[in-house]
Amino acid sequence: MPNRGTGGISPRVYLSYAEDSPDHVDSVRRFATFLRAELGVDAELDAWYATERRDWVAWTVRQLRDADFVLAVASPDYKRIADGEPGTSSGRTRELEGALIRDNLARNVPESTRRVLSVVLPGGRAEDVPDCLRPSSTGYHLIAEYTRGALEPLLRVLAGAPLHEKPARGVFMAPAPGVDPVVVVSPPAGPVRQGVLAVGEDLVLGGVRYLVDGSHWAEEPDRDHSVIRRRARASALDPHDGSVWLRQLEMRHHTGVAESAFADLRRERELLTALAGGTSGLPEPLGLFRDGPLATLVTRWPSSRPVDGPAGTLAAAVPAPGERTDPWRMWQILRGVAGLCRALAALHARGAAHRNLTPEVIARLDDGRLVLLDLGLAGSAPRGGEGPGDYRAPEQRRGRFPTLGAATDVYQVAALTHHLVTGFPPAPAGALPIGSRVRAVPPRAAAALDASLAAEPGDRPAMNDLASALATLPATAP
């Protein structure tokens, strides 16, 4: 299951439930918080927005429509509402949710069966799963406790990661007359997969041999499983020195989604080539290599002299929850982020935006400068649910594609900086003024960061303006 630690794309999940009792509501909230904060699932819960005045009917319809999965939390009142009977508990749109779920089932049973998953929380009863969700024939997820191990079966469904992969079908040979039946299984015809990114593998790209290391390796399928996405750091073997960042696609099936993914990688390579050498802080391209179903984009991973090896990433600077950054580190971070802003502004000048900024894809040089390892989603068209969970801009959560762009990067840079300085990512419903959390942040920088976290993209400053505000620091560190 991809999470914040691996930088993977998380499925968007909406929790549908009834307010049977305060204890039940609290359990639902704990479940949603565990999914989001501990497991990296992009979970949505109406309770997190309870203080906002909004059109709850429109909000509910949008959540049920846009979610990759709907988790239907079993309870006596939820069963009554979902099965079309009057409920006894209060709630904003519970009867509407039940009606929409039944309507979706009637319109498309296979798709609704895949998307709507019944869950029974600790202390709940399986008999409270709604009859319309067919618990006897489709099953349900019994959550014994809020741990990763207890939720692994549910996570595998959300991630599309089966416990056992179905093997390729071999060749069946019909028996000759009069002899006992014999089934011979042999590998399917076709070339053996070589060059696949795997920890410890030695592969050749562009005539250079690389050894893949496991510290940054990750793999996840695309939504229709026609493409496998991998990424890893690798070390160039003698006589070449240094490390590289590898992002690889493997086409499993020729589909529109797969072809689009390969085209996106080519566009990113073209952007990297156009930007090369013009602005510090941008990835250095080393090539895009295609070998049958595999395409691998190679960019340089900056090095560090003190460790005589690859530089670390900004992930090492992320404080523990609630840990505030001391003034010296804050000064270094703000100066580094100011340079990163200028690099992103150069990308924006090309009409593209990163849209997937996380500490894991930003290298930190010995002198504190920050360098992007890749261009994120710059080569791809916007899609619902894109972007990193903790730093996802409001327009990415809402799926407002026309507004995705440079302002999205402004929000993500500010969200990431907020996390580095305060110890917490900004709340999706709106962050408190950063100066109220950390008084040492210079006033101009604090005001620019607050403005950059505005809900509406048009209310945010330009990236160069944010860079200027963050660079207005004392000549010497505090």
The strand pair at 227-236 and 141-142 is best described as: unpaired
Please name which of 439, 185, 457 lies closest in space to residue 325, comparing C-alpha atoms.
439
Report the DSSP beta bridge partners of residue 43: 13
Bond before 239 cis per omega within 30 degrees: yes
What pLDDT is recorded for position 184?
Answer: 43
C-alpha span between 392 and 10 (Å, rounded): 11
The structure's pTM equals 0.61
Evaluate whether 213 touches 234 at the Cβ level (below 8 Å): yes
What pLDDT is recorded for position 51?
Answer: 85
Report the DSSP beta bridge partners of residue 245: 233, 299
Per-residue pLDDT tens listing for the chain (478 residues): 333 333 446 889 999 999 999 999 999 999 999 999 989 899 999 999 988 888 899 999 999 999 999 999 999 999 999 998 877 765 667 888 888 898 888 888 888 889 999 999 998 998 999 999 987 788 889 998 888 888 989 998 998 877 776 776 665 655 555 544 444 444 443 443 578 999 999 899 988 999 999 888 999 888 778 899 999 999 998 666 789 999 999 999 888 889 999 999 999 999 999 999 888 999 999 999 999 999 999 999 999 888 788 999 999 988 887 777 778 888 889 999 999 999 999 999 999 999 999 999 999 999 999 999 999 999 998 887 788 888 999 988 877 677 789 999 999 999 999 999 988 888 876 777 888 888 888 899 999 999 999 999 999 999 999 999 998 765 444 4
Residue 268 CB contacts under 8 Å (≥ 6 apart), including other chains:
297, 374, 375, 378, 379
Evaluate whether 58 touches 173 at the Cβ level (below 8 Å): no
What pLDDT is recorded for position 238?
Answer: 66
Q: Which domains does the chain have, with CATH numbers?
A: 12-159 (3.40.50.11530), 197-301 (3.30.200.20), 312-478 (1.10.510.10)
What pLDDT is recorded for position 6?
Answer: 37
Q: Evaluate the CA torsion angle 105, 112, 146, 393 in order and state its sign.
A: negative
